[in-house]
Amino acid sequence: MKHVGRPIPRLEDYHLLYGGARYLDDIELPGQLYAGFVRSPYPHARVKRVDASEALSMPGVVAVFTPQSGRPFDFAPGGKVRYQGEAVAMVVAADRYLLYDALEKVYVDYEPLPAVVDPIKAMEPGAPVIDESLGTNIAKREKYASGDAERALSSSDRVVEEELVIERTVPAPMEPHGVLAAYDGRTLLVYDSTQKPHIVRREIAKSLDVPLTAVRVVQPDVGGGFGSKIQVYPEEIRVATAAMALRRPVKWVATRSEDFKMTTYGRGLILRYKAGFTRDGVLKAIKGEVIADAGAYDWFGFELASTAVTMLPAAYKVRDLDVDAVSVLTNKPPLGPYRGAGRPEATFFIERIMDLIADETGLDPVEVRRRNLVEAAPYENPFGMSYDSGEYVAGLQRGIEATGYYDLIRNAESERARGRTLGVGMSFYIEITTYGHEVAIVRAERDGSFTVAVGIAPHGQGDATGIAQLVADELQIPIDKVRVVWGDTDLVPDGLGTDGSRSLTAGGSAAVLAARRLLDELKKAAEAMVGGPVEYSNGTFRSGDKAVSIAEVVEAAYRGKVKAQLEAMEVYRAKATYPYGVGVVVVELDPETGLVKPLLYRSYDDVGVVVNPLLAAGQIHGGALQGISQVLYEDVVYDQEGNLATPNFAFYHIPKATEAPRYEPHFAEAPHRSEHPTGTKGVGEAPTIAAAAAAIKAVEDAIRRATGKKVRLRRSPVRPEEIYRLLRE
């Protein structure tokens, strides 16, 4: 019985849904201490003095680490704090309540400095400089050019110039950041709410200057990350260092408000550009720059800008491009990857440009895309990205049919006659997933069951179910004979964790190849046992009328009666692969208030082989809502002085079930496989990428239906107040 392609409920469900899960803060170790951080109330300030004497004198306070503690604590590097909430000291205490009292008794003498939170202002001469060693807030600028954009612009029928803004978002997983470290005199054991246990291990070992073997990182159940738990934060290093120094377990768990202060934020990109196109709606050139609001440290800002630039041409034919990727320092927490990481922004930008061309030429938005799309892969985009497989023109057509896009438009028209204002938006996306190597070990257990250990680090996605399906099929055994384990650096020596929609493709392929190799080993052993060549099927090796089961071979090998490897490790190098598809969003606008409610998300995705349609649909649900929410609800606001005005869920709105639309995902019936053994391309980010671009168009469409005028939306999120103003202009 084949497992791949079937909607098998998550094997993780019982554990997660019936109270079996153990999150970081559920883990308690004997003698455990609690760590907390003193955080700057100023967005930018010189730290003149930290006085911890009163805190240290409080009974139960074990240690206070300050800028004077030096590396690897590394508080206030360069003698400054660069964003509101940046840590300046760490208190370690025997009790959590006492800890929070003690945090208030660490006195920091700040000299406030002028702050800048707007990346455009940060680029202007005279702006406060955040990193004096650079002498400017432009952390990095790199040109991506192809063809001759200037000439193509001058030969275009029309040239439009504008700025598109995607404001920052808070990743806001259910579980905030946290880490628990304990040193037993031999090994530093670190429990970490992370997406990348092996990277945490490497970073800690490097910071503490100890071999990898001295550090074991365990990822307990993790309540989401959305990219915000990719970065190894200074807090993780500091807690590990404190545990080592104090020889006691030390735990830190961020409160929700603290998480808003220290987490990496998502999105935060601006495209300033000129685009030229023909009167037939063909895009000829884009010249401009993608600016990342990188925050106080350019951990990831430049990478996000450059990903957005290299994916900006999408699957469109345009080859005359001249776009800079720029990262700009601002007095905010660092920018980081957030579900899609550069691709939602690229898609948002290019799809806004396609919609603009439709507006300017009077052509149908679908027709504009059709005229611009490359027929099919393989195709190398102007920046050298090699799209592996797919039919883009045909895919657009199938997507439009599967989503019933034109029926939805007609429905919006007839509803308008009945007094309801609906808006419909579509987007075509192509994105890049999967990178780097991944490690899997498949081990035969004595009873003929198999343990699969992987270096990916899923945290709710259900990858263990997908991998169990793949391995069960590869070994031709029932899925209940396969157990998938992960999240412990003692299980597999390396791995890159879970991000970039790569887990099932990279981790699954590594597991499939390891299983294949192990089966070969067992086949050789079976041949030795029966004394001739064997055929394998469904758990049994046969040679003529002789047969031996896989369990018998394993048992014989464990007892030393036959020689066989009982474990196989695969290090799999995973190339990038490119899913694509169509997303359609329907919203309802209340013209009296400007409030918008999402009603429906329909999609058509060619994400390669769908190992488990149930898991894939789950990714579509959450991902689409995140994309829509970025456009409709999530608004990070700073005041003039650089203070965060949306510091918690009372002010920052993330959608609840009451805001969720109806979801109707469709997957390609004849998907284009990736080159990987799994044939998968990844689905974790595709819906977020497609939905944001479609959602803003849907809002625009609704405003047009209400006013009869062409309005153009250039900023995400779209605030109800702005819509209200547009409705009355």
Partner 1 sequence: MIPPQFEYYRASSIDDAIKALSEDPNAKALAGGQSLIPLLKLRALSPSKLIDIGRIRELRYIRQAGRGLTIGALTTHADLERWAGPCGVLPEAARQIGDPQIRSMGTIGGSLAHADPAADWPAVVLALGAMIKIAGPSGPREVPAEEFFQGPYTTALQQGELITEVLVPECPPKSSYVKIARAYNDFAIAGVAAAVWAEGGYINEIRLAATGVGLKPVRLKKAEEAARGRKAGEDVLLEVAEAASKEVDAISDVRASAEYRRAMAGVAARRALRRALGL
Residues that bind partner 1 (CB under 8 A): 96-97, 99-101, 104, 255, 257, 592-593, 595, 633, 637, 645-646, 648, 650-651, 653, 655-656, 658-659, 720-721, 724
Is residue 500 left, alpha or beta, with left meaning phi > 0 and alpha meaning psi from -120 to 50?
Answer: left
Query: Rounded to the nearest 5 degrees, what angle is found at the Cα of 503, between the Cα atoms of 297 and 604?
Result: 100
405-417 vs 392-403: helix crossing angle, rounded to 10:
40
Q: How far is the CB of 64 from partner 1 (least distance, A)?
A: 18
State the Cα–Cα distance between residues 589 and 465, nearest whole angstrom.
40
State the Cα–Cα distance between residues 578 and 314, nearest whole angstrom.
10
State the Cα–Cα distance between residues 289 and 163, nearest whole angstrom.
10
Structure tokens at 261: 């202060």
Closer Cβ to partner 1, 99 or 692, answer by number: 99
Q: How far is the CB of 225 from partner 1 (least distance, A)?
A: 23
Query: Which among 339, 261, 282, 341 is positioned nearest to 306, based on CA atoms?
Result: 341
Query: Rounded to the nearest 5 degrees, what angle is found at the Cα of 396, between the Cα atoms of 395 and 399?
Result: 85
Task: Give the list of residues 6+ apart from residue 53 with CB closer than 8 angstroms, or none.
Answer: none
Q: H-helix or E-strand containing 294? A: strand 283-295
Closer Cβ to partner 1, 520 or 639, answer by number: 639
Closer Cβ to partner 1, 133 or 658, answer by number: 658
Judge whether 509 and 574 are in contact, CB under 8 Å: yes
Closer Cβ to partner 1, 16 or 595, answer by number: 595
Q: H-helix or E-strand containing 725? A: helix 720-728
Q: How far is the CB of 407 from partner 1 (least distance, A)?
A: 28
State the Cα–Cα distance between residues 448 and 444, nearest whole angstrom.
6
Closer Cβ to partner 1, 223 or 466, answer by number: 223
Closer Cβ to partner 1, 336 or 642, answer by number: 642
Q: How far is the CB of 634 from partner 1 (least distance, A)?
A: 11
Sign of CA dihedral 590, 595, 599, 603: positive
Q: How far is the CB of 48 from partner 1 (least distance, A)?
A: 25
Question: What DSSP string describes 491-531?
Answer: TSS----S-TT-IIIIIHHHHHHHHHHHHHHHHHHHHHHHT
The DSSP output letter for 488 is B
Task: Give the list of residues 6+ apart from residue 248 with CB closer than 8 angstroms, or none.
Answer: 31, 32, 33, 62, 182
Q: How far is the CB of 164 from partner 1 (least distance, A)?
A: 23
Query: How far is the CA of 149 from the CAs of 276, 285, 322, 358, 360, in angstroms?
Result: 9, 5, 6, 21, 20
Rounded (10°) CA dihedral 468, 471, 475, 479 = 10
Q: How far is the CB of 628 from partner 1 (least distance, A)?
A: 12
Distance in Å from the first CA to the final CA of the chain: 63
Q: How far is the CB of 705 from partner 1 (least distance, A)?
A: 19
Task: At 179, give phi and psi (nearest 5°).
Answer: -155, 145
Closer Cβ to partner 1, 633 or 663, answer by number: 633
Closer Cβ to partner 1, 394 or 645, answer by number: 645
State the Cα–Cα distance between residues 28 and 250, nearest whole angstrom.
10
Q: How far is the CB of 647 from partner 1 (least distance, A)?
A: 9
211: three-class secondary structure by DSSP: coil
Closer Cβ to partner 1, 22 or 96, answer by number: 96
Residues comprising the chain, all counted: 729
Structure tokens at 589: 């606008």
Closer Cβ to partner 1, 258 or 293, answer by number: 258
Q: How far is the CB of 482 from partner 1 (least distance, A)?
A: 39
State the Cα–Cα distance between residues 672 and 114, nearest whole angstrom.
53
Rounded (10°) CA dihedral 339, 340, 342, 345 = -90
Longest dimension (CA), the chain: 87
Please confirm whether the linkage preceding 72 is cis (ω < 30° from 0). yes
Q: How far is the CB of 124 from partner 1 (least distance, A)?
A: 25
Q: How far is the CB of 28 from partner 1 (least distance, A)?
A: 16
Q: How far is the CB of 43 from partner 1 (least distance, A)?
A: 16
Closer Cβ to partner 1, 233 or 633, answer by number: 633
Judge whether 172 and 288 are in contact, CB under 8 Å: no
Closer Cβ to partner 1, 260 or 450, answer by number: 260
Closer Cβ to partner 1, 237 or 250, answer by number: 250
Closer Cβ to partner 1, 219 or 629, answer by number: 629
76: three-class secondary structure by DSSP: coil
Closer Cβ to partner 1, 548 or 631, answer by number: 631
Distance of CA 6 to the CA centre of its chain: 26
Q: How far is the CB of 139 from partner 1 (least distance, A)?
A: 29
Task: Give the list of residues 6+ apart from residue 410 with CB closer than 8 angstroms, or none.
Answer: none
Q: How far is the CB of 180 from partner 1 (least distance, A)?
A: 17
State the Cα–Cα distance between residues 159 and 320, nearest whole angstrom.
14
Closer Cβ to partner 1, 435 or 724, answer by number: 724
Q: Count CB neighbours of 665 within 10 A.
A: 25
Structure tokens at 195: 């997406």
Q: How far is the CB of 100 from partner 1 (least distance, A)?
A: 5
Structure tokens at 185: 């005199």
Closer Cβ to partner 1, 102 or 568, answer by number: 102
Q: How far is the CB of 637 from partner 1 (least distance, A)?
A: 5
